[in-house]
Structure 1
Amino acid sequence: MVGPKKKGLVFRYLFALVLLLIMIYPYIYMVLNSFADWSQVDKKFFPTEYSLKSWEWLLGGGESVIPRPWINAFFNSFIVSAGSTILMMVSAVMVSYALAKIHFKGRDTINNVVLFQMFFPAIILLIPTFLVIQKVGMYDSYWGMILPKAMSLWAVFMYTNFFKAIPDTFIEAAKLDGASEMQIMFKIVLPMSKSITTVIFLFLFMERWTELLWDMLVAKSDNMLTLNVLLSQMFGPYGGYPGPMYAASVLLTLPIIIIFLLFAKKFQEGMQFTLK
């Protein structure tokens, strides 16, 4: 006979499994319909006939006059997201190291300003930033989409708290050996921060990859559209092609899933620190 404790454990596992299926079913539905025969798209919970027609239509360019717009938009999203994330990471590391490990007048004030600025919604600066980008000639360019997203106060806050937990003895020993602040920062402090770096990288890349409003304002020409912008614009003209729209949505989410799976272990370690 199965004891009461085992029955309770089995029930909890089944309940958790049901909740998990409910949470991931929309994504499963999206993936299945991207491969479903067009006659069954949005007609059944689980399509029974499948084909690659939606993907062939999508990757072939569909009815667009631009050759392969979705592939071009995918690479635009990758360039913009990767560039912005790298700049955000580098700037956050440098600012956070100074705030955490270098003693200078006004350091506490800057820390408070960073914390205070995190409570401001980013949309407040949307119009001023757009006007500046337009005046300096970066409108409808990669730099116009990348540079305004080159600083993350959230990343500065996370790195600063982590760097403060690193013993100063490591830094003092490196200085006695003649290491500069840049060498200490990138060769000692940063390698000791792999777990939190993974968390910050994943969140920053995901946030930038899913950005819509800013890219929609800055990207004017069809060749500069990111995948998010193209997908949002295609709901009207391509509304009669739900299969390819599901395929485009899968294409949009695929990099995030792959990156998360690659860094899952470090992500868990970093999250343990952030929850302490």
Structure 2
Amino acid sequence: MVGTKRSNNKLIIRYVIAGILLLVMVYPYLYMVLNSFADWSQVDKKLIPTDYSLKSYTWLFTGGDSGITRPWINAFLNSVIVSLLSTFLMMAFGVMVAYALSKLKWRGRDTVNNFIMFHMFFPSIILLIPSFLIVQKLGWYDSYWALIIPKGVSLWAIFMYTNFFKAVPTVFIEAARLDGASDFKILYKIMLPMSKSITTVVFLFLLMERWTELLWDMIMVSSDNMLTLNVLLSQMFGPYGTYPGPLYAGSVLLTVPIIIIFIIFGKNFQKGMQVSLK
């Protein structure tokens, strides 16, 4: 009995510690959500506001005291279009390159693989200016092309798919080739269905990374109708810095789609993480 009580006490202590740590991690986001709904007289005045209203969200979509209508719906649609198309390109390109690096034999394969690994250690900001100049020369500046095409390649996606495809037995591929299947058909009929778990992980990480991209989107567009949601939100810190409530509301709107997607793909994400960590 004494041993049981001690084990129960230890278990309770662990739950308490875990609960405190969870609260510490979650509270900043909870604070942001509460202040987005708080009355403006209580924003950033209390740890937990007591008076709530929709004034901050109303201000976002009507322009509030400034009288300037902010294109939030248009910016949201831009973010959706840019994020989904960029993620699709990154995954499609990553799958094809990974298949070539893992299952096809060709001269220079190891060199290309080593170059990709080497290039992953370089911070992307190093190539920011050359990329900007190339986009300008191509005439893509301030267009969807500038926001999507240069962001259509992910070395991390190539790395993840390459490691996963290497673990797939070549017996399946050889059997498919005996039946007359092409490499393209093998890739999309055999390899991809077997990689659903890792595909979920890659999709969620790439989508989240592209959705929250700020620096590239700020540099590549200049007109209001091409702004993405995160760029529009960042602009509020200038002329609209005196309105903290709408800032919190805009931040909440920026995070809601990612939360919904993680809820939908949560189980597949867990399975994919278990596979990728093995």
TM above 0.5, yes or no, is yes
Tell me the residue number matched to 2:252: 250
Cα separation, partners in 2 of 1:8 and 1:215, compared to 1, 3 Å: same
Q: 1:14-39 CA distances to partner (integer Å, 9 max, x unpaired)?
A: 10010000101010000011111111
Is the counterpart of residue 152 in structure 1 residue 157 in structure 2?
Answer: no
CA shift, 1:61, in A, is 3.5
Identify which of 162, 165, 168 aligns with 1:163: 165
**Retained in 1: the 8 A contact 2:201–2:269?**
yes
Question: Is 1:95 equivalent to 2:115 in the alignment?
Answer: no
In structure 2, the residue matched to 1:79 is 81
Contact between 1:29 and 1:45, CA under 8 Å: does it hold in 2? yes
2:23 is matched with which residue: 10, 21, 43? Answer: 21
Give the Cα separation in 2 of the matches to 1:132 and 1:63: 41
Candidates 6, 9, 34, aligned match of 1:7:
9
Structure 1 segment 194-213 matched on structure 2, within 5 A: 194-213=196-215
Identity of aligned residues (%): 70
In 1, distance between residues paired with 2:126 and 2:209?
A: 18
TM-score, structure 2 normalization: 0.96
Partners of 2:111 and 2:64 lie apart in 1 by 55
Residue in 2 aligned with 1:274?
Answer: 276
Q: Which residue of 2 aligns with 1:176?
A: 178
Q: Distance in 1 between matches of 2:94 and 2:63?
A: 39
Any gaps of 5 or more consecutive residues in structure 2? none
Q: What do the CA deviations read for 1:167-226 (whole angstroms, capped 9, x no partner)?
A: 111111111222111111011100110111111111111111111111110010111111
How far, CA to CA, are the matches of 1:103 and 1:269 in structure 2?
31
Distance 2:241 2:116 in 1: 44
1:81 Cα deviation after fit: 0.9
Q: Higher mean Cα deviation, 170-179 or 126-135?
A: 170-179
Contact residue 61 and residue 70 of structure 1 kept, 8 A: no
Taking the aligned partners of 1:16 and 1:261, their CA distance within structure 2 comes to 22
Cα separation, 2, equivalents of 1:109 and 1:67: 53
Residues in 1 aligned to 2:228 and 2:200: alpha-carbon distance in whole angstroms: 25
- Does residue 135 (structure 1) correspond to residue 137 (structure 2)? The answer is yes
> For the residues of structure 1 that align with 2:126 and 2:109, how far apart are their CA atoms?
26
Paired residue type of 2:213: E
Distance 1:205 1:243 in 2: 27
AA paired with 1:85?
Answer: T
Counterparts of 2:68 and 2:228, CA distance in 1: 14
Q: Look up the match of 2:192.
A: 190
Off by >6 Å, runs of 4+ in structure 1: none
Do 2:56 and 2:245's aligned partners in 1 also have CA atoms closer than 8 Å? yes
Aligned letter for 2:93? Answer: S
> How big is each residue's C-alpha offset from its partner over 1:27-71, in whole Å with a ceiling of 9 and x where there is no partner?
000001111111111111111111111111112233566644122
Equivalent pair of 2:61/2:69 in contact (CA under 8 Å): no
Q: Which moved more, 1:101-110 or 1:153-162?
A: 101-110
Structure 1 residue aligned with 2:267: 265
1:214-272, Cα deviation, whole Å (9 max, x unpaired): 11100101111111111111112111211111100001111111111111111111111
Q: Match of 1:74, as an amino acid?
A: F
Structure 2 CA distance, aligned partners of 1:41 and 1:67?
23
Letter in 2 for 1:248: G
Q: Which runs of 5+ in 1 are unaligned?
A: none
2:117 aligned residue: 115
TM-score, length of structure 1 as denominator length: 0.97
In the alignment, the residues of structure 2 paired with residue 146 and residue 21 of structure 1 have an alpha-carbon distance, to the nearest angstrom, of 37
Q: Which residue of 1 aligns with 2:61?
A: 59
CA contact (8 A) 1:55 1:244 kept: yes
